[in-house]
Amino acid sequence: MPVVISLLNSFTGVAAACGGFLYHNNVMLMGGVLVGSAGTILTIVMCKAMNRSLTNVLIGAVGGNSAVTSSSSKSGGTVREVQATDVAILMKYAQKVIVVPGYGLAVAQAQHVVHELEGLLESEGVEVKYAIHPVAGRMPGHMNVLLAESNVSYDKLLEMEHINPEFATTDVVLVVGANDVVNPAAKTDPASPIYGMPILDVENAKQIVVLKRSMKSGYAGIENELFYNSKCGMLFGDAKASLQKLVNEVKTL
């Protein structure tokens, strides 16, 4: 979806440039060229981040149902559900916490609550960072914009290539509404439609907590192997409500 939006954005730039040429309007022409070129560059960058060609992104799902079925049928292990109290204790006494925001955070409008939780943890001496995947959300830069809206410091928003080496030294990873961008199947399952896509290496952390409404699959329509990891705990519910519970629990500890 972010790739398609970026591509359409580049088309609007091309259309504006054509209009500027037809009407002899240099401002419209230059503006259209800038928008079109920026959209094209962003589209290429995001396709590279997904390790897929633009053609594959646009029509790759055609005839791909068998791949989805073979991947989604592998549900190894069991899901471990956790409570807000347990998660709050884990985070309060951790040294380093990384938050992975996803589309679920945007739907729940939970960016302000997650920033409040960040402030509480930092007051306890916990280092808090955010892991931003290039295609997280439903539009380019979706997570960056949401977190900037809640006044999260920009230097805490780390891109995938910078944050991935840090997961191995992280005590707790809090995944808020993200799914496909943290799915280990992208590295382990050749039959998966997301195989080869660079992901956030959250499975390397000591403890993983995922905030989701249910076990429903993400945009790719496949199960997430991460949810069955022995280090992973699922905190079910609306992202905003769950984060508010964590805020309240941390305050009372």
Which residues are catalytic, by number? 180
Burial class (CB in 10 A: 0-12, 13-18, 19+), 1: middle
Strands 232-236 and 157-159 turn out to be unpaired
C-alpha–C-alpha distance, residues 179 and 182, integer Å: 6
User: Which of 74, 4, 99 lies closest to 43 in space, CA to CA?
Assistant: 4
Edge-to-edge strand ranges of the sheet holding 207-212:
157-159, 127-132, 96-101, 172-176, 207-212, 232-236
Element (DSSP H or E) covering residue 90:
helix 84-92
C-alpha–C-alpha distance, residues 116 and 245, integer Å: 12
Q: How far is CA 224 from CA 179, 195, 199, 249, in A?
A: 7, 12, 12, 28
Which residues on neighbouring strands pair with residue 194, listed in sequence order?
none
Q: How far is CA 30 from CA 5, 20, 41, 43, in A?
A: 21, 8, 16, 20
The DSSP secondary structure of 137-205, one letter per residue, reads: SSSTTHHHHHHHHTT--GGGEEEHHHHGGGGGG-SEEEEES--GGG-THHHH-TTSTTTT-----GGGS
